[in-house]
Amino acid sequence: MSDQFKTVMKGEPLPPRGFTPFQFSSRKIQVQTTQLGGLIPDNPVSSLLNEATTWYEMWINPEKVTLARAFQYKQQHTAGSIVTYHYRPNTIQMSVSGVVGWIALNPQESDPSIFNLLSTTASRTSQKNSPRVFMKRLREVAEDPMYFVGTDGIEHYNVKYIKIYTKQYPSGVICEGYFNKFDVPESGEDAQTINYSFEFTVESLKPITLLQKVIGMYGGTTGSLVGGSIRSIPGF
Protein backbone atom coordinates (compact mmCIF):
# COMPACT_ATOMS: atom_id res chain seq x y z
CA MET A 1 0.00 0.00 0.00
CA SER A 2 1.23 3.45 -0.85
CA ASP A 3 2.37 5.65 2.03
CA GLN A 4 -0.14 8.30 1.03
CA PHE A 5 -2.96 5.95 2.04
CA LYS A 6 -1.42 5.08 5.38
CA THR A 7 -2.39 6.89 8.56
CA VAL A 8 0.05 6.83 11.43
CA MET A 9 -1.37 7.52 14.88
CA LYS A 10 1.41 8.59 17.16
CA GLY A 11 0.91 10.03 20.63
CA GLU A 12 3.20 11.18 23.38
CA PRO A 13 5.38 8.33 24.73
CA LEU A 14 4.50 7.04 28.17
CA PRO A 15 6.90 7.75 31.03
CA PRO A 16 9.60 5.09 31.40
CA ARG A 17 8.10 3.77 34.64
CA GLY A 18 4.47 3.57 33.58
CA PHE A 19 1.61 6.00 34.05
CA THR A 20 2.44 9.18 35.90
CA PRO A 21 0.78 9.28 39.33
CA PHE A 22 -1.50 12.17 40.22
CA GLN A 23 -0.10 14.42 42.95
CA PHE A 24 -1.55 16.88 45.45
CA SER A 25 -0.25 19.64 47.71
CA SER A 26 -1.24 22.97 49.23
CA ARG A 27 0.20 26.43 49.68
CA LYS A 28 0.40 25.89 53.44
CA ILE A 29 2.49 22.74 53.03
CA GLN A 30 4.86 24.53 50.68
CA VAL A 31 5.25 27.67 52.80
CA GLN A 32 5.85 25.72 56.00
CA THR A 33 8.25 23.28 54.35
CA THR A 34 10.57 25.46 52.27
CA GLN A 35 9.94 29.04 53.45
CA LEU A 36 9.96 28.53 57.25
CA GLY A 37 6.34 29.57 57.52
CA GLY A 38 6.81 32.67 55.40
CA LEU A 39 10.04 34.03 56.91
CA ILE A 40 11.88 33.28 53.66
CA PRO A 41 10.40 34.98 50.57
CA ASP A 42 9.44 32.86 47.61
CA ASN A 43 12.51 32.41 45.40
CA PRO A 44 13.79 30.02 42.71
CA VAL A 45 15.45 27.77 45.30
CA SER A 46 12.28 27.43 47.39
CA SER A 47 10.27 26.77 44.23
CA LEU A 48 12.73 24.03 43.30
CA LEU A 49 12.48 22.47 46.74
CA ASN A 50 8.69 22.73 46.66
CA GLU A 51 8.53 20.58 43.56
CA ALA A 52 10.90 18.03 45.10
CA THR A 53 9.54 17.73 48.64
CA THR A 54 5.99 19.08 49.04
CA TRP A 55 3.98 17.01 46.56
CA TYR A 56 2.32 13.79 47.71
CA GLU A 57 1.53 11.06 45.23
CA MET A 58 -1.79 9.28 45.02
CA TRP A 59 -1.48 5.58 45.78
CA ILE A 60 -3.56 4.65 42.72
CA ASN A 61 -4.73 7.12 40.10
CA PRO A 62 -8.48 7.84 40.18
CA GLU A 63 -10.84 5.72 38.12
CA LYS A 64 -12.78 8.71 36.85
CA VAL A 65 -12.03 12.42 36.45
CA THR A 66 -14.66 14.82 35.13
CA LEU A 67 -14.01 18.48 34.30
CA ALA A 68 -17.19 20.48 33.78
CA ARG A 69 -17.75 24.20 33.19
CA ALA A 70 -21.12 25.96 33.26
CA PHE A 71 -21.69 28.95 31.00
CA GLN A 72 -23.53 31.84 32.58
CA TYR A 73 -26.32 33.62 30.73
CA LYS A 74 -29.70 35.19 31.38
CA GLN A 75 -32.70 35.40 29.10
CA GLN A 76 -35.24 38.16 29.12
CA HIS A 77 -38.53 37.85 27.27
CA THR A 78 -39.93 40.89 25.51
CA ALA A 79 -43.12 41.38 23.52
CA GLY A 80 -41.48 40.49 20.22
CA SER A 81 -38.28 38.56 21.02
CA ILE A 82 -36.02 36.87 23.54
CA VAL A 83 -32.90 38.76 24.59
CA THR A 84 -29.99 36.67 25.89
CA TYR A 85 -27.26 38.22 28.04
CA HIS A 86 -24.00 36.25 28.06
CA TYR A 87 -21.44 36.41 30.89
CA ARG A 88 -18.00 34.98 31.40
CA PRO A 89 -17.89 31.19 32.06
CA ASN A 90 -18.08 29.90 35.59
CA THR A 91 -15.16 28.17 37.31
CA ILE A 92 -14.33 24.59 36.33
CA GLN A 93 -15.81 21.92 38.57
CA MET A 94 -13.73 18.75 38.86
CA SER A 95 -15.24 15.49 40.11
CA VAL A 96 -12.85 12.67 41.04
CA SER A 97 -13.61 9.13 42.18
CA GLY A 98 -11.53 6.03 42.65
CA VAL A 99 -10.70 2.93 44.64
CA VAL A 100 -7.61 2.47 46.78
CA GLY A 101 -6.11 -0.99 47.01
CA TRP A 102 -5.55 -3.37 49.89
CA ILE A 103 -5.87 -1.37 53.12
CA ALA A 104 -3.59 -3.72 55.08
CA LEU A 105 -0.63 -2.87 52.86
CA ASN A 106 2.10 -1.06 54.79
CA PRO A 107 4.02 1.94 53.44
CA GLN A 108 6.65 0.98 50.92
CA GLU A 109 10.31 1.72 51.31
CA SER A 110 11.50 5.18 50.34
CA ASP A 111 12.33 5.57 46.66
CA PRO A 112 14.49 8.69 46.45
CA SER A 113 14.03 10.72 43.28
CA ILE A 114 16.37 13.15 41.62
CA PHE A 115 16.59 16.47 43.43
CA ASN A 116 16.03 14.74 46.77
CA LEU A 117 18.80 16.64 48.52
CA LEU A 118 18.34 14.77 51.80
CA SER A 119 18.25 11.27 50.36
CA THR A 120 21.80 10.48 51.51
CA THR A 121 21.07 11.26 55.15
CA ALA A 122 17.37 10.52 55.65
CA SER A 123 14.52 8.76 53.93
CA ARG A 124 12.05 10.87 52.03
CA THR A 125 8.89 11.09 54.11
CA SER A 126 6.66 11.97 51.18
CA GLN A 127 7.64 8.71 49.44
CA LYS A 128 6.39 6.52 52.32
CA ASN A 129 3.00 5.84 50.87
CA SER A 130 0.22 3.28 51.26
CA PRO A 131 -3.56 3.22 50.80
CA ARG A 132 -4.16 4.39 54.38
CA VAL A 133 -1.39 7.01 54.26
CA PHE A 134 -2.65 8.35 50.95
CA MET A 135 -6.23 8.71 52.21
CA LYS A 136 -5.06 10.36 55.43
CA ARG A 137 -2.93 12.90 53.55
CA LEU A 138 -5.61 13.68 51.01
CA ARG A 139 -8.25 14.16 53.70
CA GLU A 140 -5.95 16.43 55.72
CA VAL A 141 -5.29 18.61 52.67
CA ALA A 142 -9.02 18.78 51.91
CA GLU A 143 -9.99 19.65 55.49
CA ASP A 144 -7.20 22.16 56.08
CA PRO A 145 -8.63 25.72 56.46
CA MET A 146 -8.38 27.95 53.40
CA TYR A 147 -6.50 30.64 55.35
CA PHE A 148 -3.53 30.31 57.68
CA VAL A 149 -1.22 32.70 59.52
CA GLY A 150 2.43 32.12 58.77
CA THR A 151 5.42 32.60 61.03
CA ASP A 152 5.74 36.05 59.47
CA GLY A 153 2.40 37.00 61.04
CA ILE A 154 0.72 37.43 57.64
CA GLU A 155 -2.47 35.66 56.66
CA HIS A 156 -2.05 33.53 53.53
CA TYR A 157 -4.60 31.98 51.17
CA ASN A 158 -4.19 28.22 51.44
CA VAL A 159 -4.86 27.27 47.83
CA LYS A 160 -4.92 23.52 47.18
CA TYR A 161 -3.08 21.95 44.23
CA ILE A 162 -3.90 18.78 42.29
CA LYS A 163 -1.57 17.67 39.50
CA ILE A 164 -3.40 15.48 36.98
CA TYR A 165 -2.54 13.60 33.79
CA THR A 166 -5.52 12.67 31.61
CA LYS A 167 -6.32 11.90 27.98
CA GLN A 168 -7.41 15.50 27.61
CA TYR A 169 -4.17 16.73 29.21
CA PRO A 170 -1.53 14.04 28.52
CA SER A 171 1.32 16.40 29.45
CA GLY A 172 -0.34 17.24 32.74
CA VAL A 173 -1.92 20.30 34.32
CA ILE A 174 -1.98 21.73 37.83
CA CYS A 175 -5.46 22.49 39.15
CA GLU A 176 -5.46 25.27 41.75
CA GLY A 177 -8.54 25.75 43.89
CA TYR A 178 -10.42 24.28 46.83
CA PHE A 179 -12.39 21.19 47.83
CA ASN A 180 -16.19 21.31 47.90
CA LYS A 181 -16.88 17.77 49.04
CA PHE A 182 -14.93 14.75 50.22
CA ASP A 183 -16.54 11.32 50.66
CA VAL A 184 -15.15 7.98 51.83
CA PRO A 185 -18.06 5.49 51.81
CA GLU A 186 -17.53 2.14 53.51
CA SER A 187 -19.55 -1.05 53.31
CA GLY A 188 -19.25 -4.69 54.27
CA GLU A 189 -19.33 -5.87 50.67
CA ASP A 190 -15.61 -5.24 50.21
CA ALA A 191 -13.68 -4.94 53.45
CA GLN A 192 -10.26 -4.83 51.78
CA THR A 193 -10.43 -1.65 49.67
CA ILE A 194 -11.38 2.00 50.18
CA ASN A 195 -13.58 3.98 47.83
CA TYR A 196 -13.31 7.75 47.73
CA SER A 197 -14.65 10.69 45.79
CA PHE A 198 -14.34 14.44 45.96
CA GLU A 199 -15.43 17.58 44.19
CA PHE A 200 -12.95 20.36 43.54
CA THR A 201 -13.44 23.91 42.26
CA VAL A 202 -10.64 24.81 39.85
CA GLU A 203 -9.84 28.52 40.08
CA SER A 204 -6.80 28.22 37.82
CA LEU A 205 -5.58 25.62 35.36
CA LYS A 206 -1.85 25.76 34.61
CA PRO A 207 0.31 23.55 32.39
CA ILE A 208 3.13 21.60 34.01
CA THR A 209 6.45 23.17 33.16
CA LEU A 210 9.56 21.32 32.01
CA LEU A 211 11.19 21.93 35.39
CA GLN A 212 8.26 20.33 37.18
CA LYS A 213 8.36 17.36 34.83
CA VAL A 214 12.08 16.84 35.42
CA ILE A 215 11.64 16.92 39.18
CA GLY A 216 8.68 14.58 39.25
CA MET A 217 9.37 11.00 40.26
CA TYR A 218 7.83 9.75 37.02
CA GLY A 219 8.51 12.85 34.94
CA GLY A 220 9.06 11.00 31.70
CA THR A 221 12.05 13.13 30.62
CA THR A 222 14.49 10.27 30.27
CA GLY A 223 16.82 10.95 27.39
CA SER A 224 16.21 14.68 27.30
CA LEU A 225 19.13 17.03 27.54
CA VAL A 226 17.94 18.62 30.75
CA GLY A 227 16.95 15.38 32.43
CA GLY A 228 20.18 13.67 31.42
CA SER A 229 22.27 16.55 32.68
CA ILE A 230 20.52 16.62 36.05
CA ARG A 231 20.75 12.88 36.53
CA SER A 232 24.47 13.08 35.94
CA ILE A 233 25.00 15.27 39.02
CA PRO A 234 26.54 13.20 41.83
CA GLY A 235 24.11 12.42 44.63
CA PHE A 236 20.93 12.87 42.57
One DSSP character per residue, 53-119 reads HS-EEPSS--SEEEEEEPPPEEEEE-SS-EEEEE-PPPPEEEEEEEEE--TTPPPPPP---TT-TTT
pLDDT in tens, 71-111: 988 999 998 899 999 998 899 999 999 988 777 777 754 44
pLDDT in tens, 160-172: 999 998 888 888 8
203 occurs within a structural domain: yes
197 occurs within a structural domain: yes
pLDDT at position 228: 34
Q: Which domain holds residue 97?
A: 19-225
5 occurs within a structural domain: no
Averaged pLDDT score across all residues of the chain: 75
Q: Is the model more confident about 68 or about 40?
A: 68
Question: Residue 54 above 50 pLDDT?
Answer: yes
Q: How many domains does the structure of the chain reveal?
A: 1
Q: Is the pTM of this model over 0.85?
A: no
Highest mean pLDDT among 152-156, 187-191, 210-214: 152-156
230 occurs within a structural domain: no
154 occurs within a structural domain: yes
Phi, psi of 226 (to 5 degrees): -65, -50
233 occurs within a structural domain: no
